[in-house]
Amino acid sequence: MTENKKNLYVLLGTSLVTQATTSLIGGIIGIGPFNDTGSMADAMIGIAGNITGAYIGIFLQVITAIVIIVLGTALYQAGKHINQTLAIIAFGLYLTEAVIHIVNQIIVVALAEISRLFLISGDASLVNMGTILYAARDFCGGITMMPFGLGAIMFYYLIMKSNVIPKWLGLWGLISVPFILVGWTLEAFNVSLPFVLYAPYVPWEWVAGIYIFIKSLREASR
């Protein structure tokens, strides 16, 4: 393995793991825990009471968006020799995902600040604003999965054909990611599907990232 190829694999593996990790942690410590409180007012009070956690979550999600661009670049470099047109389209979709993800965090910032104002003032009209922002946040979160899902299908096919990942790992991604694409898009329009449909994909990015990273180290040592 050449030095450039080794560096590409290290970047690709690291980006996959980082993107999955920051997204998960950001969701857990941000406003995610207040999704199912039942009352919008209670949710806003909870967010305001955890304003530091909310902003840490926002920061981690912004990092996620940046890493998505880095990951898209690495995937493009790894798969472009198989089909450059497909790789360019997939990269464009990843950029779109990152932009929507950033827009979503702007919405979350607005929601966090309105929640803080509601806790201070008790102004009931802010609850309606919070409801609107919450709906916009959920919509953006669902729509983000459209460019991700389409781009991922293309990229996973390309890196499987490039032998960056083995066939079993490529097929795992190609079979499981469409459930994310369809399911989360439906979620954006208030159609909920059971989590069990998404579960097979959840560990994929960690498994693929660690596999690629270890592969780069093994190849470099030969």
- Other Cβ atoms closer than 10 A to 18: 19
CA-to-CA dists, residue 172 to 98, 180, 213, angstroms: 24, 13, 18
pLDDT at 36: 61
Environment class of 162 (CB within 10 Å of its CB; exposed 0-12, middle 13-18, buried 19+): middle
Instruction: Please give the chain's pLDDT, 222 residues, in tens.
Output: 677 888 899 999 999 999 999 999 998 888 776 666 678 898 899 899 889 999 999 999 999 999 999 999 999 999 999 999 999 999 999 999 999 999 999 999 999 999 999 999 989 889 999 999 999 998 999 999 999 999 999 999 999 999 999 999 999 999 999 999 999 999 888 888 888 999 999 999 999 999 999 988 877 665
Picking from 114, 117, 143, the residue whose alpha carbon sits closest to that of residue 131 is 114
